[in-house]
Structure 1
Amino acid sequence: MKKILILSAIILSGLTACNKTEDKYDASGTFEAVETIVSAEAAGTIKQLNIEEGQELKAGQTIGYIDSVQLYLKKKQLHAQIKAVLGGKPDIAAQTAALQEQLRQAEREQHRVTNLLEADAATQKQLDDANTLIAVVKKQIAAQRSSLGITSANFEDQAAPLAVQIQQVNDRLEKCRIINAVNGTVLTKYAEVNEVTSNGKPIYKIAELNSIILRAYVTGDQISHVKVSQQVKVLVDDTKNTYKTYPGTIEWISDKAEFTPKTIQTKDERANLVYAVKIRVKNDGYLKIGMYGEVKL
């Protein structure tokens, strides 16, 4: 009789433990993060790639570069072409220098004739001729400047497309630099130094792991008890019989029900339809992508 009582107590204790375990969570799911695949933006040989899996990177950090010698040579060629084209531009100041000197001489003569006219030593016709000469020389200068300006503009128009090509090459040169886009930890490295890559080919995958998302699932009966910004407890296996507890914040609730994923357990095992929720959890380094977690609402 005593053995039966002891056995009953053990069974009751086990059932109580099971119930306590079941009561520990209201929903469950797996951890995930926003993963970004950084791809090459240029084609060529990877000359430098300073990353390893598990390494933390900062946004804007330069981690390597792709061979850019051909682009550099193309840029030099374009600069040389622009120099050759613009070398044909006329020197307006030099080519109008003679006329400018004629104008200065005509103005001096006009001044001299004006003084002589005031002293009754020159005639009005002489002054009129001096004024006419100044006007003619000025028109000649204006005409030559206009002609030379048109010629100069034509050379600049010829150089403009080359300047645009240089801007395009500069953009391609910039894309030869491999720059990390987001803060995070390198998850997977797809390329190595001295490998040939192409535009759009993945180089590595990175994710922000300082805060991680638990995608959990709640039943229709529970959905009315959850809301965005709600604080919850997230439980993660620590040892065989203990849990690590993290504070979490619900940041998204699905507006559509879905069939319960096969890998997920719900509090009500009879529930066929569940709602996904995303819970943001600050990561101390213990939480990993794909790890199982439970939620206490």
Structure 2
Amino acid sequence: MNKKIIAGGVIVVAIAAAGLFWLTGKNDGDKNVLTLHGNVDIRQVSLAFEDNGRISSLAVEEGDRVRAGQLLATLDTRALKIQEQQAQAQLDAQTQTVREQQAGARPEELVQAKAQLLSAQAQLQKANEDVSRIQHISANTAGKGVSRQELDMARSNLRIAQASVTERQANLALMQKGVRSEQRVASAAQVRATQAQLALLQYHLSQAELRSPVDAVVRARLQEPGDMTGPQKAVYTLALSKPKWVRVWLNESDLGRVKSGMAARVVTDSFPNKPVSGKVGFISSVAEFTPKSVQTEELRTNLVYEVRIVVDDPNDVLRMGQPATVTLNTQTEKASDVGQ
């Protein structure tokens, strides 16, 4: 019984040692070579429409390569186009009003207003003469030559003629001065408001097209034509072609051997004879517990440091989450830093 317990304990210790050896690296007999194991990591972009609407078309499938600016999806824009036409017609009408106010009255309109004033002045002169004539007759005949009614009618016509002349003079003055400055300012403000409304509608129309922001590979197609979508619902998930890195974990005892900018060699099980070059791009300044992928309790209590190996993958052989083996030659350190 004791032998079984001892044997079981030896196996557990061996498994724990093997896990720690896998996690923190090995040197394959060369003290200057540090071997680490991890997984490929790639940045992703979730693409969604800015506005709510119904998806009209989707142009790419999962696995397709897309270029920056490529059209990926569109929304139904029939209602927006009708609103755009309405705003454009309103803007045309308001712009024409402003032009008329700036141009003022036409020469023909001024000639007409002057002629109407002359006509009113002639009517006033006639009314004056009629009143003078009737008053003269009334005075010479002791009020018997004309009736009181005729005299009142003549005086009434005179007042009407005077008012008509005043009206025509004011109308001519208004036409010569043009509209009030406050009215011009108000009309110009209406034009600007309609222009802003039209620009907003045109912006919404442009946002009804979903385009790729970068060169990438379509990782997931999450919706289909006819679906209702919005800003909170991603349509596509894109995996960026660059940058790529391998995330590995470094034991504290090896922390002093690894520097930013150090050259690295990355291989995968799929292409063991085709290594990919890389550099140490990031070394965490904070220790953390061993990742959950290591299941033994002994290893989960170890503190390790995250290291990112930025790789140059022109042939695009590395895939997200793919296991990879990283080899570092600690004898040939390079002090140059690389960005992430």
Q: Same fold (TM over 0.5)?
A: yes
Unaligned runs of 5+ in 1: 1-17, 102-139
The answer on whether the counterparts of 2:41 and 2:245 sit within 8 Å (CA) in structure 1 is: yes
Separation in 2 of the partners of 1:182 and 1:249? 24
**Quick one: which amino acid aligns to residue 59 of structure 1?**
A
Q: Cα distance, 1:237 vs. partner?
A: 1.7
User: Within 5 Å, which residues of 2 pair with 1:247-262?
Assistant: 247-262=277-292
In the alignment, is the contact (CA less than 8 A) between 1:237 and 1:244 conserved in 2? no
Cα distance change on mapping 1:238 and 1:162 into 2, 3 Å: closer
CA RMSD of aligned residues (A): 3.2
1:196-275 to 2 correspondences below 5 Å: 196-209=228-241, 211-238=243-270, 244-263=274-293, 272-275=302-305
Q: Given the superposition, is the C-alpha separation of residues 264 and 145 from structure 1 closer, same or farther in structure 2, using an over 3 Å criterion? A: farther
Flag structure 2 segments of 5+ consecutive residues without an equivalent.
1-17, 29-33, 112-171, 329-340
Q: Which residue of 1 aligns with 2:321?
A: 290
In structure 2, the CA distance between the partners of 1:209 and 1:147, relative to structure 1 (3 Å rule), is closer
The Cα of 1:38 is off from its aligned counterpart by 0.7
Partner of 2:41: 32
Structure number, greater radius of gyration: 2
Further displaced range: 39-48 or 178-187: 39-48
Whole-angstrom distance in 2 between the partners of 1:180 and 1:159: 35
Please tell me whether the aligned partners of residues 105 and 178 of structure 2 are also in contact (alpha carbons under 8 angstroms).
Answer: no
Gap change, CA 1:37 and 1:165, over 3 Å in 2:
same
Count of aligned pairs: 237
Q: Match of 1:81, SS?
A: helix
> Which residue of 2 is the match for residue 186 of structure 1?
218
- Answer yes or no: is the 8 Å Cα contact 1:229–1:250 preserved in 2: yes
What is residue 277 of structure 1 aligned with on the other side?
307
**1:97 corresponds to which residue?**
107
Q: Which amino acid aligns with 2:221?
A: K
**Counterpart for residue 164 of structure 1:** 196
SS at match of 1:172: helix
Q: Name the aligned partner's letter for residue 280 of structure 2.
A: I
- 2:173 and 2:259 map into 1 onto residues whose CA distance is 81
Per-residue deviation, residues 139-166 of structure 1 (Å, max 9, x unmatched): x989944645543332222232221111
2:27 aligned residue? 23
Secondary structure of the corresponding residue to residue 26 of structure 1:
strand
Going from structure 1 to structure 2, the CA distance change for 1:176 and 1:141 (only over 3 Å counts) comes to same
**Identity across aligned pairs (percent)?**
24
SS at match of 2:235: strand
SS of residue in 2 equivalent to 1:51 = coil
Q: Is the 8 A contact 2:294 2:300 kept in 1?
A: no
Q: Residue type of the partner of 1:47?
A: S
Q: Which residue of 2 aligns with 1:176?
A: 208
In the TM superposition, what is the alpha-carbon distance from 1:74 to its structure 2 partner?
0.7
Secondary structure in 1 matching 2:201: helix
Q: SS in structure 2 opposite 1:255?
A: coil
Q: Which letter maps to 1:286?
A: V
Distance change >3 Å, CA 218–CA 229, structure 1 → 2: same
TM-score, normalising length from structure 2?
0.61
* Amino acid corresponding to residue 80 of structure 1 in structure 2: A
In the alignment, which of 39, 45, 58 is matched to residue 54 of structure 2? Answer: 45
Task: For residue 23 of structure 1, report the CA deviation from its aligned partner.
Answer: 3.3
Is the 1:213–1:280 Cα contact (8 Å) retained in structure 2? yes
Partner Cα separation in structure 1 for residue 231 and residue 320 of structure 2: 29
* 98 and 50 in structure 1: CA distance in 2 versus 1, 3 angstrom threshold: closer
